[in-house]
Amino acid sequence: MAAFVIRRLLWLPILLFFVSLITFALGVYGPGDPIKVLLGIRANPETIERLRHEYGFDQPFHIQYLRYVANALQGNFGYSLVKYRDQPVGGLIAHALPVTIQLNLVAIFLGLGIGVPLGLLAGLKRDTWIDLLIRGLVIAGISLPIIFLNPVLTFIFSRRHDIVLTAANLRFSIGPLLPMVQGYWDGIFSAKVILPAFIESLGIIAVMTRQMRAGMIEVLSEDYIRTARAKGLRERVVIVRHAMRNALIPIATILGLMMGGLVAGSFLVENWFGVPGVGALAFDALFSRDYYITMALVLLIAVAYVLSNLLVDLTYGLLDPRIRKA
Amino acid sequence: MGTLLQVKDLRTEFHTQDGVVHAVNGVTFHVDEGETLGLVGESGCGKSVSVLSVMRLIPQPPGKIPAGEVMFQGRDLLKVDDEEIRSVRGNKIAMVFQDPMTSLNPVLTINTQISESLELHLGMTKEQARKRAIELLKMVGIPEAEGRIDDYPHQFSGGMRQRVMIAMALSCSPQLLIADEPTTALDVTIQAQIIDIVKRLKRELGMAIIWITHDLGIIAGLADRINVMYAGFVIESASNKEIFANPLHPYTLGLLGSIPRLDAALKSKLTPIEGLPPDLIEMPKGCPFYDRCRHRTEKCANENPPLDLGAVRHWVACWNWQDVQKARSKQ
């Protein structure tokens, strides 16, 4: 077991090397220039040159890259070049990351809490109107784009809380359910988390419902379910003890893989609801070619996915004894 | 010996997109206390469906049991409520299924799977049930039962799993054990072991058995009486000896003719039964074996023979059974 974990973790530096090299190359050679974004299009060419020299952007690629890696290994991931000028990237992420993780945890919790029971019900009531209704809702949930849901749901909920909308600056000053646009976040234990988390959870609900429905239908036709019924067990015991555990195995896999996504925020939801998370930070960084931030976020997400995959492999055995001993 | 189970005019059908499949078409049979009844027939003849109907284990829908009576200990199992049928299942009537590789739950230990019947029907505590489960595993010949009780099904071979299934079925000392092709998925040496175990346990525990198989060789050494099924009908019913010595239905005769025999002449060939069983969605009006029968007459095309013809204590559903008998004795 320990050997397995170590072997997997040894891959991490190799992966990070390639990911960082590609991302850095895209930052350096890709279109756009953070200095130009910073100074504006009418900037004096000499000023641009001076700043480029100051930041070391006039150095050859390999020097820039090696300097970045050397700094990163010491925990210094560079500084913001544009919007959060000269703030260390590490600090920016340290602020944004907990917010996004919290929001995503609520979203996953909602996704599981709504999706699994819905899928279970649909699977048990296969081809009845209940099943059709749930499947219809799931398709609607997965098909409606977030960019549509954001304003619509905001509108619906804000009406109920006597919205005061000032058209001039589009600042919302509405009931307790909604955080205001532009940086207003009370953390995970406030009612304001519900709407953005719900919108983020729609996709998760859809995936969980479909997987759980398909899983239940498959498991219920298995021979061992007939065996369980032939023992005279109550239908509830047959479903909970014999069917659900088997149907939950793939759910655990999906859930584990989602853990990697915990650190990646949603651009659309975070920006719309003014959640100061990773998604909002990444949005700023990408649009202003602030590539040290982009680099750090890409590396963070890569590490998160490697670790979550490892976690999936380790916990899989807890649910499925066939894998535990293998 | 009294009658333990009396099935009367049982019908089971499946409502599918292509139409209504008539899987069992008015089957009547009985099992006496402590006897072994063999149900023999080819795939799709309704053997499994009839016993699953007895246990009410047919998924409904698409399955439906529009008629019939299953009398067991003074009550009709088709009419009792769910609570009561559950108190019979696994307790008074237990089942062993065909494929031991898929019939055990992969995520539960053997202990859990055997103990749950004991806790449910006999009201044992977890500790009592575990002790009993170990005894049961020993009884079916699983070595080092104490060490294996907490293992999972995938840690057992096919033959060992079928022993676990038998231990599970016998856990509450049922009066009737239904064995639905329990040896079909096993290789021949393991088949013989499983049959020996069931024979021994029957002697020790005295339960009645319904043994379903398509293998006449297996049933010859096991059953007291044999029912031959075809297209959802019982078409011949007699003692084990009678069936093999004096088959009266052309189909039974055909079945016997298609088994290889050690005492046959060296160059003699097996005689297959030509043709296919009828479509269970569009059942013929007359005898279901009509198309394949060498002894058919006009009457057979129009009237389905009931199972009350034949000799003493030997019932056959064939209008021309006497011709069949004569033709056979000439050979």
Question: pLDDT tens digits, residue range A33-77?
Answer: 777 777 777 778 888 888 888 878 888 888 888 888 888 888 888
**Which chain B residue has its CA at the smallest distance from A231's CA?**
B90
Instruction: Please report the pLDDT score of residue A133 as a whole number.
Output: 93
Put simply, the chain B residues between 101 and 160 with a CB less than 8 A from any chain A CB are 102-109, 116-117, 120-121, 152, 154-155
Q: Which of chain B's residues have a Cβ under 8 Å away from the Cβ of A222?
A: 102
Instruction: Please report the pLDDT score of residue B37 as a whole number.
Output: 92
pLDDT band at A167 (very low <50, low <70, confident <90, very high): very low
Q: Is B1 on the interface with A (CB under 8 A)?
A: no
Instruction: Please report the pLDDT score of residue A184 as a whole number.
Output: 55
Instruction: Please report the pLDDT score of residue B1 as a whole number.
Output: 64
Judge: A229–B57 Cβ closer than 8 Å, yes or no.
yes
Instruction: Please report the pLDDT score of residue A318 as a whole number.
Output: 73
The beta-carbon neighbor of A224 closest among B104, B109, B152 is B104
pLDDT more than 70, % of chain B: 99
Q: Minimal Cα–Cα distance from A266 to chain B, Å?
A: 37
Read off the pLDDT of each residue in B308-325 and give the average, rounded to a whole number.
79
Read off the pLDDT of each residue in A163-174 and give the average, rounded to a whole number.
37
pLDDT band at A157 (very low <50, low <70, confident <90, very high): low
- In the predicted structure, residue A179 carries a pLDDT above the cut 60: no
- In the predicted structure, residue B5 carries a pLDDT above the cut 50: yes
Q: Could you give the residue ranges of the DSSP H alpha helices within A56-167?
A: 61-73, 89-124, 129-143, 146-159
pLDDT band at A173 (very low <50, low <70, confident <90, very high): very low
**Which chain B residue has its CA at the smallest distance from A125's CA?**
B61
Instruction: Please report the pLDDT score of residue A178 as a whole number.
Output: 43
- In the predicted structure, residue B49 carries a pLDDT above the cut 50: yes
Judge: A322–B106 Cβ closer than 8 Å, yes or no.
yes
- In the predicted structure, residue A117 carries a pLDDT above the cut 90: yes
CA atoms within 13 A on the CB side of B74: 0
Read off the pLDDT of each residue in B305-328 and give the average, rounded to a whole number.
79
Instruction: Please report the pLDDT score of residue A188 as a whole number.
Output: 65
**Which chain A residue has its CA at the smallest distance from B97's CA?**
A227
The beta-carbon neighbor of A223 closest among B89, B97, B121 is B97
- In the predicted structure, residue A191 carries a pLDDT above the cut 50: yes
Residue of A218, A229, A231 to mutate, interface with B, max B Cβ within 10 Å: A231
- What rounded mean pLDDT belongs to chain B? 86
Residue, of B178 and A265, whose pLDDT is higher: B178
Q: Which of chain A's residues have a Cβ under 8 Å away from the Cβ of B16?
A: none
The residues near A296 (Cβ < 8 Å, ≥ 6 apart) are A77, A78, A89, A90, A93
In this predicted model, what pLDDT tens digit does every residue of A277-325 receive, in sequence order?
888 888 888 887 787 888 888 888 888 888 888 888 877 777 777 776 5
- What rounded mean pLDDT belongs to chain A? 80
Instruction: Please report the pLDDT score of residue A161 as a whole number.
Output: 46
Secondary structure, 3-state, chain B: CCEEEEEEEEEEEEEECCEEEEEEEEEEEEEECCCEEEEECCCCCCHHHHHHHHCCCCCCCCEEEEEEEEEECCEECCCCCHHHHHHHECCCEEEECCCCCCCCCCCCCHHHHHHHHHHHHHCCCHHHHHHHHHHHHHHCCCCCHHHHCCCCHHHCCHHHHHHHHHHHHHCCCCCEEEEECCCCCCCHHHHHHHHHHHHHHHHHHCCEEEEEECCHHHHHCCCCEEEEEECCEEEEEEEHHHHHHCCCCHHHHHHHHCCCCCCCCCCCCCCCCCCCCCCCCCCCCCCCCHHHCCCCCHHHHHCCCCCCECCCCCEECCCCHHHHHHHHHHC
Answering whether pTM is above 0.80, one says no
ipTM of the shown complex: 0.85
> In 3-state terms, what secondary structure has residue A185?
coil
> In 3-state terms, what secondary structure has residue A89?
helix
Read off the pLDDT of each residue in B101-113 and give the average, rounded to a whole number.
90
Q: Report the C-alpha gap between A230 and A213 in whole angstroms.
A: 24
The number of C-beta contacts closer than 8 angstroms across A and B is 75
Judge: A222–B102 Cβ closer than 8 Å, yes or no.
yes
Q: Is B290 on the interface with A (CB under 8 A)?
A: no
Contact criterion met (CB below 8 Å) for B225 and B237: yes
pLDDT band at A180 (very low <50, low <70, confident <90, very high): very low
Q: Report the C-alpha gap between A235 and A239 in whole angstroms.
A: 6
The structure tokens 């319904």 sit at B210
- Provide the 10 A C-beta neighbour count for residue A198: 19
Read off the pLDDT of each residue in A216-230 and give the average, rounded to a whole number.
91
Provide the pairing of β-strand B233-239 with B315-316: antiparallel
Judge: A231–B117 Cβ closer than 8 Å, yes or no.
yes
Q: Which of chain B's residues have a Cβ under 8 Å away from the Cβ of A241?
A: 108, 116
